[in-house]
Structure 1
Amino acid sequence: MGQSALSILICSAGRRVGLVEAFYAAADRLALDLTILACDVDPEHSAACAIADHAFEVPRGDDPAYVDAIKDIVRKFNVALVVPTIDTELLQLAQSLNAFKELGARVHISELSVIEVARDKALTSTVFAKAGVPVPQTMNEAQFRADPSALTWPVFAKPSGGSASRGLAVYQNIDDVPDRFDEPMIFQDTLEGPEYTINMFVDQSGTLKCVVPHIRLSIRAGEVEKGRTERREDLKEIAQGIAKALPGLRGVACFQIIDDPRFGPRVIEINARFGGGYPLADHAGATFAQWLLEEVCGLPPTANDDWRDGVLMLRYDRAVYQG
């Protein structure tokens, strides 16, 4: 049974104007009366909250009170779909799926086992390598300090639970490595070459329906600023390998690859959520937002892999005005 009116909630909305606009456009194509709610720790200064129909202040995604705040919004506005957008909120939401189901809401999130892998880069490397997904050689800090010659220098280091390019470092030799770190780290061979984001959509039955790679021509604050879609079968095969390695993956996910001329394409991380570069895939015809609305509303599914190759995105700053 389809429905013509529904409310959705975009969490940690921040600057995700493109994502909000993608859902509005999808609703227009489906002739849905869509109300978009948005929440953030500082909604007054969130551009995405400003263009949504309603905005709410909530605690940080890792605050124990976060889930209850989201549930209150869902309950009050009869929200049908909750869309998280940052890593820190995923674990709590994944642990609370039954509570949201009781309220009649679907949370756009994969199974807890997938979130646990995606949130731990060391575990990501282990799980993918075991499944035959190409990843760089990876060590935790204890392994690295025990045998630093096992990696090819210079060595790349990053927090195992980091995101948005936080805490990244390249060390030329062992003397450059700090004696201690404030959080768990992983150490890898330093990769060189073009970097790609691959957006993928897995339907409710667990079938991988769409794979959209784009080359990251320019990056700002960890997100693609300039990018171009590229249809590459080798990257699609890697996405298929990831879907098999993570059978609980559902909905939208994205992963990053560096195409190193020495090692070949290597997966460096995965995000089990909408990525910041999703608007490029959407504009190229991979309308993940529409496919999610179709699933929630019980409409005939149209998910497909017929997107446009060579679509170029050039982002720029745009202002939202109030008052």
Structure 2
Amino acid sequence: MADVQVNNGAKSSLNVLFLGGAKRVSFGNKLIAAGQRLGIDVKIYSYELEPEVPIALIGGVIIGRRWSAPDVLDHLHQVVGAYKIDVLLPFVDGAISIAGAYIATYGDVWSPVVSSGKADTLFDKVLSAREFEAAGLDIPATYTGGRPVFPLIAKPRRGSASKGIEIIEGINEFKKISKIADEYLIQTYYPEREEYTVDCYISHRGEILCISPRRRLEVVGGEVARTVTVDYPELTKASEEAIVKLGLRGAITLQYLRDLQTDRLMLMEINPRLGGGVVCSIHAGADIPGMILAEATGGVAEKADQIRPGTMICRYFEEAVFNV
């Protein structure tokens, strides 16, 4: 675990509001445990659309607005005041820009997020691919016109959790997608591939405190179900390059693929939030919950230097029961 230092004058309790953290019970428990180590009483709330969600097992559920609602920032501000919230943690793509916009507008809480403008760019796969290319980062070739070379992959430009992705094998499939091409990022598809996630944490001062690569072994509904930390120096170096060139801050999840035929490593996308499988990196020694709490209380968290490769998690279903 990272050596975390907390200011002596820091609060002895923190109220943390998850944004869309309905299923993040495991991470919530890790955050509470980190608080106990640091002498901080962590209370968890989650901003949701319905009360019957698993996070209710360990925290309070606050009924909120949709991320697209015109009054979402005003309502969130009311919630922050009513529940004396200290920290915002977004867990879904739509909540990232909301957290950034809230900080920029009100500034009365802390959150490990990029600016709302950067979040909007990264959420748009077409814009983010352009930014990655402009920064000189290696990505799959993007189709921009002319005769297509198959196979291709088409991803909804503002999609998430692997929803709506199409593999294009031939001209007939391509013609269907090309009619609405502006709604997709279309790139070369590599059928023989390995996929990797990299859990990162960058302090508000720009210090890279954690880079933890893990291989995605099984994905269910867009979320990793089995994953294992790996010792992959090339991936660590590529991730550090991306962080520095793009000026990233806070909790970041990078997605890479490796073409098994050429051994080429390519950046697919960046989610400026905690990933669902981040608990694997935490079990391997990346004390990201401690880093979050240290920064939230004005303290200092040193770089995690002993992240163990070969730590695997297998996620499973467990019931949260409600009487409705």
Instruction: Give yes or no for the alignment of 1:64 onto 2:70.
Output: yes
Percent identity between matched residues is: 24
**In angstroms, what is the RMSD of aligned CA positions?**
1.7
Which residue is 1:175 aligned to?
172
Q: Can you give the 5+ residue segments of structure 2 that lack an aligned partner in the other structure?
A: 1-8
Deviations 1:38-82 (A, max 9, x none): 12111x221013321x21100112222222222111111221111
Give yes or no for contact 2:32–2:41 (8 Å, CA) kept in 1.
no
Alignment of 1:1-323 (within 5 A): 1-42=9-50, 44-52=51-59, 54-101=60-107, 104-139=108-143, 143-144=144-145, 147-149=146-148, 152-177=149-174, 178=176, 180-181=179-180, 184-191=183-190, 192-247=192-247, 249-263=248-262, 264-323=264-323
Give yes or no for contact 1:210–1:304 (8 Å, CA) kept in 2.
yes
Q: 1:195 to 1:50 in 2, by over 3 A?
A: same
Give yes or no for contact 1:40–1:57 (8 Å, CA) kept in 2.
yes
Give yes or no for contact 2:252–2:272 (8 Å, CA) kept in 1.
yes
SS in 2 for 1:96: helix
TM-score scaled by length of structure 2: 0.91
Highest relative contact order (Cα 8 Å, sep 6+), 1 or 2?
2
Q: How many residues align?
A: 311
Deviations 1:134-187 (A, max 9, x none): 100113xxx33xx133xx311111111111001101111122221523961111
Structure 1: 4+ residue segments shifted above 4 A: none
Query: How many angstroms apart in 1 are the aligned matches of 2:97 and 2:228?
Result: 31
Give yes or no for contact 2:224–2:276 (8 Å, CA) kept in 1.
yes
Give yes or no for contact 2:256–2:265 (8 Å, CA) kept in 1.
yes
Q: Can you give the 5+ residue segments of structure 1 that lack an aligned partner in the other structure?
A: none
- What one-letter code is carried by the residue in structure 1 that aligns with 2:141? Q
TM-score scaled by length of structure 1: 0.91
Query: How many angstroms apart in 2 are the aligned matches of 1:243 and 1:208?
Result: 8
SS in 2 for 1:95: helix
Query: How many angstroms apart in 1 are the aligned matches of 2:46 and 2:211?
Result: 27
Q: 1:237 to 1:33 in 2, by over 3 A?
A: same
1:260 shift after superposition: 0.5
